[in-house]
């Protein structure tokens, strides 16, 4: 297991660079209805959590409900603490010059996702800006800060006073995606990517796994698979919302909706080009493809959860792909169809959050994803990454219940090695490695369960 996490960390660091930052905006769900609206609080800053007797302990505590070293872990190990400092580096400063931003480290546009930077009227007291900190994810703390240490106090009482329940996979996904995919307010467009910002890639469980944990592990061995599954549904829902926004915007087509590596990849001689050998299904040669990474693996999960509804989703996504992958596609129709598909993805999110996840479902998903190796591989780099992360997450969960399977583990680790240089990604090689995963699963008796 340690080996898979090492490969996962290496691959994601190469792929994601400095994008590990959550936003302050959009903390509350817009799709998950609740009868009791939380109390709106004010922000108190990360220093309010950092006392040794609170969350600033050097060593984790075992006799308390939380580790109590969360602040210390954040300051010393967490990429979110470094998110603000990344705005000072040479690449960020060059981005600022290219985009007409005088200083990214003080720009509200950048600070929205690189720090807890809120207006004065939302602060209970002044505090230093120190990166993406406690309240960026957990919500403004003024209403529950003093009370949550009292004897008999429960997390539910804090949730009622404005703390975000990050044990809820839907809420956690929405919070992370408010910056790792973006919102109408927190937008990474093609201009920013052309200037040097990494393109936005996300998978909830893998991102959670590569962070230094400041939480106690869940007892349920299927917890991470559920986290991955809900995250996939919410990511698709939000990606389709973004597509609808962009299609109705002033500068359509917006190229962040397309596969970056459809254009930005290592050029080869025509006789050795796997892309030309593959052809351009459902689009004309030279037209950039809509990025399938948001749904390529989720389609497999959807079929396992609700086969009937998944057929409807498949049809909607196929239509959207054809419309969006044509630069002459009608923006109004794209926006309408994206909104309809987003509604269906939200229905799946609700269903998946309530579904049962066990060893049997994990085995089926491992087989189904690995058996789709050729299709997934040909969708290009980001789709292959999603498949590798999904297989890794699901197999880790399976191993917890069924014991170690070294051959399967080695085959999945091999997928991450194929992703070390995204621009030189080779679909036939990744597909061959997926076949090795499928064979290892079969030999281990997993594919037959």
- Residues 413-429: tens digit of each pLDDT: 999 999 999 989 999 99
**Torsion over CA: 360, 365, 370, 375 (sign):** positive
Give long-range contacts, CB 8 A cutoff, 24+ apart: 357-361. Answer: 357/222, 357/225, 357/226, 357/229, 357/397, 358/222, 359/222, 359/398, 359/401, 359/402, 359/449, 360/449, 361/225, 361/304
Q: What pLDDT does 65 receive?
A: 86
Does residue 371 share a domain with residue 246? yes
In a domain? residue 383: yes
Domain that holds residue 66: 29-165
At which of 150, 165, 180 does a domain end?
165
Does residue 249 share a domain with residue 136? no
Vertex 22 angle, CA 157 and 65, to 5°: 35
Does residue 245 share a domain with residue 108? no
Distance CA 151, CA 34 (A): 27
Distance CA 434, CA 383 (A): 13
Does residue 153 share a domain with residue 240? no
In a domain? residue 209: no
Does residue 128 share a domain with residue 241? no
In a domain? residue 338: yes
Does residue 237 share a domain with residue 317? yes
In a domain? residue 404: yes
Q: Which of 147, 127, 148, 121 minimizes the C-alpha distance to 40?
A: 121
Does residue 245 share a domain with residue 122? no
- Kindly state the DSSP code that residue 421 receives in the 8-state scheme: S
Buried b (16+ CB within 10 A) or exposed e, 20-38: bbbbbbbbebebeeeeeeb
Distance CA 397, CA 409 (A): 12
At which of 165, 180, 207 does a domain end?
165
Alpha helix positions (H), 100-222: 108-114, 134-138, 155-160, 169-180, 190-195, 204-210
In a domain? residue 388: yes
**Domains: count for the chain:** 2
List the beta bridge partners of residue 62.
none
At which of 129, 150, 165 does a domain end?
165
DSSP-based three-state secondary structure for 212: coil
Q: Which residues contact 154 (CB under 8 A, 6 or more apart)?
A: none
* Site of tokens 């307010």: 185
Distance CA 133, CA 74 (A): 8
In a domain? residue 151: yes
301 in Cβ contact with 387 (< 8 Å): no
Does residue 281 share a domain with residue 397? yes
352 in Cβ contact with 410 (< 8 Å): no
Structure tokens belonging to residue 132: 């993406």
239 in Cβ contact with 181 (< 8 Å): yes
Task: Specify the CATH number for the domain of residue 68.
Answer: 1.10.1130.10
Neighbours of 121 (CB within 10 A): 6
- Running along the chain, 449 residues long, what does each successive block of 10 average in pLDDT? 50 46 38 49 92 90 88 93 95 97 96 95 93 95 93 93 95 96 94 95 92 90 96 98 96 93 90 92 91 96 97 97 91 97 97 95 97 95 96 96 95 96 94 98 84
Q: Which of 105, 89, 44 minimizes the C-alpha distance to 71?
A: 44
Does residue 155 share a domain with residue 288? no
Q: What pLDDT does 282 receive?
A: 87
Does residue 141 share a domain with residue 229? no
In a domain? residue 125: yes
Does residue 372 share a domain with residue 275? yes
Neighbours of 428 (CB within 10 A): 13
Does residue 143 share a domain with residue 283? no
In a domain? residue 3: no
């Amino acid at each position: 297991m340690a080996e898979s996490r090492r490969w996962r960390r290496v691959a994601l660091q190469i792929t994601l660079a400095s994008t590990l930052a959550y936003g302050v905006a959009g903390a509350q769900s817009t799709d998950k209805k609740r009868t009791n609206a939380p109390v709106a609080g004010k922000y108190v800053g990360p220093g309010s959590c950092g006392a040794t007797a609170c969350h600033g302990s050097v060593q984790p505590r075992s006799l308390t409900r939380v580790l109590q070293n969360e602040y210390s872990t954040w300051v010393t190990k967490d990429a979110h603490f470094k998110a603000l400092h990344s705005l000072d580096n040479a690449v960020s400063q060059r981005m600022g010059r290219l985009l007409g931003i005088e200083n990214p480290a003080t720009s509200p546009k950048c600070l929205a996702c690189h720090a807890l930077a809120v207006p004065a009227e939302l602060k209970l007291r002044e505090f230093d800006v120190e990166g993406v900190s406690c309240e960026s994810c957990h919500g403004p703390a003024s209403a529950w800060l003093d009370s949550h240490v009292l004897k008999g106090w429960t997390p539910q009482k804090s949730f009622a006073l404005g703390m975000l329940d990050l044990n809820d996979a839907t809420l956690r996904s929405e919070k992370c995606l408010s910056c790792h995919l973006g919102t109408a307010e927190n937008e990474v467009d093609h201009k920013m990517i052309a200037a040097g910002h990494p393109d936005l890639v996300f998978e909830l469980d893998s991102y959670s796994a590569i962070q230094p944990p400041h939480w106690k592990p869940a007892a349920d061995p299927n917890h991470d698979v559920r986290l991955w599954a809900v995250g996939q549904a919410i990511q698709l829902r939000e990606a389709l919302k973004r597509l609808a926004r962009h299609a109705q915007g002033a500068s359509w087509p917006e190229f962040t909706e397309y596969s970056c590596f459809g254009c930005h990849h290592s050029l080869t001689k025509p006789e050795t080009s796997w892309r030309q050998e593959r052809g351009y299904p459902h689009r004309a040669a030279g037209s950039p493809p809509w990025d399938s990474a948001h749904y390529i693996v989720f389609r497999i999960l959807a079929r396992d959860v609700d086969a009937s509804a998944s057929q409807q989703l498949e049809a909607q996504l196929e239509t959207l792909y054809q419309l969006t992958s044509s630069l002459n596609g009608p923006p109004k129709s794209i926006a309408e169809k994206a909104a309809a598909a987003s509604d269906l993805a939200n229905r799946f999110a609700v269903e998946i959050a309530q579904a049962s996840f066990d060893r049997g479902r994990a085995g089926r998903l491992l087989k189904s994803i690995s058996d789709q190796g050729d299709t997934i591989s040909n969708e290009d780099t980001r789709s292959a990454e999603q498949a590798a992360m999904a297989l890794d997450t699901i197999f880790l969960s399976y191993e917890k219940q069924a014991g170690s399977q070294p051959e399967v583990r080695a085959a999945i680790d091999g997928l991450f090695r194929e992703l070390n240089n995204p621009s030189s990604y080779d679909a036939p090689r990744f597909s061959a490695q997926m076949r090795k995963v499928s064979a290892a699963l079969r030999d281990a008796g997993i594919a037959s369960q």
